[in-house]
Chains A and B, each alone.
With several copies, the nearest count.
Chain A
Amino acid sequence: MNAIRVRVFGKVREIVGAETVDLPAGPAETTATVLDALIGRYPPLEPWRQYLRVALNQEYVPMERRVSPGDEVAVIPPVSGG
């Protein structure tokens, strides 16, 4: 079984306590299932769910987008640059 490595930032990184999380990958992962698995492992993320975006290969993508092996996956909390 492959693993999906998820990059996390900001408040999410702080809750997770690391810059990346490896999640077990099933045969039909999507951005939504990856986010569910991450929040399942770190329940304090639950209140943030509605504000999180997912980027695949450094592009924002909608939920339910298929995640393929080798994709660079990142969970993006509300940005606050500037």
Chain B
Amino acid sequence: MPPVVVDIVEGRIDSAKLIAAVSDPAAGGTAVFIGTTRTPSEGREVRYLEYEAYRPMALKQMTVIAETARSRWSLAGVCAVHRIGRVEIGEASVVIAVSAVHRGAAFEACRFIIDTLKKEVPIWKKEVFAEGHAWAGP
């Protein structure tokens, strides 16, 4: 089994590379989630986003989440990469790729990873508008 791969990067995320990283001859399905920065947000036009992370803790938590998913759904491969710094509209801020023998497991595991990441991993998003900015709030 290929190891779990997690990372936090400052440049563009290459989805094709992540998809290749989880490929496995025994896998019949790969589920991928790509989170992209969007506009508008709550009615306001967003110019770009800035992400920051508590990097060592975020990496630890991403590893725990990915390992949990891998054992719970018997995944063949798991890859989760989050981008930080400035991210333009339409670009990927996060990519999750998982492969499994059957597609149900791949879909469920992919969903679990992104849902848990969004709730638990110490990464923060700031939306920058033409005037001012906002931290995604409670």
Q: Which of B10-18, B69-77, B104-112, B118-126 contacts A (4 or more CB under 8 A)?
A: B118-126
- Indicate whether A82 sits within 8 Å of B114 (C-beta atoms), given known contacts A11-B135, A74-B54: yes
Contact A81 B126 (CB under 8 A): no
Which label, helix, strand, loop or mixed, suits the secondary structure of the A interface? mixed
Number of A-B residue pairs with CB-CB distance less than 8 Å in the complex they form: 73
A81 touches B51 (CB 8 A): yes
A9 contacts B124, CB within 8 Å? Answer: yes
Q: Which residue of A lies closest to B126 (CB)?
A: A10
Which residues of chain B have a CB within 8 Å of any CB of chain A?
35, 51-54, 56-58, 60, 82, 93-94, 103, 114, 117-126, 135-138
19 more contacts with CB within 8 A, not counting A11-B137, A55-B57, A58-B60, are A9-B54, A9-B124, A10-B126, A11-B124, A51-B138, A58-B56, A76-B54, A77-B135, A77-B138, A79-B120, A79-B122, A80-B118, A80-B124, A81-B53, A81-B121, A81-B122, A82-B114, A82-B117, A82-B125
23 examples of A-B residue contacts, CB within 8 angstroms: A9-B52, A10-B52, A10-B124, A10-B135, A11-B124, A14-B135, A48-B138, A51-B138, A55-B54, A58-B60, A59-B57, A77-B124, A78-B136, A79-B118, A79-B120, A79-B123, A79-B124, A80-B124, A80-B125, A80-B136, A81-B94, A81-B125, A82-B103
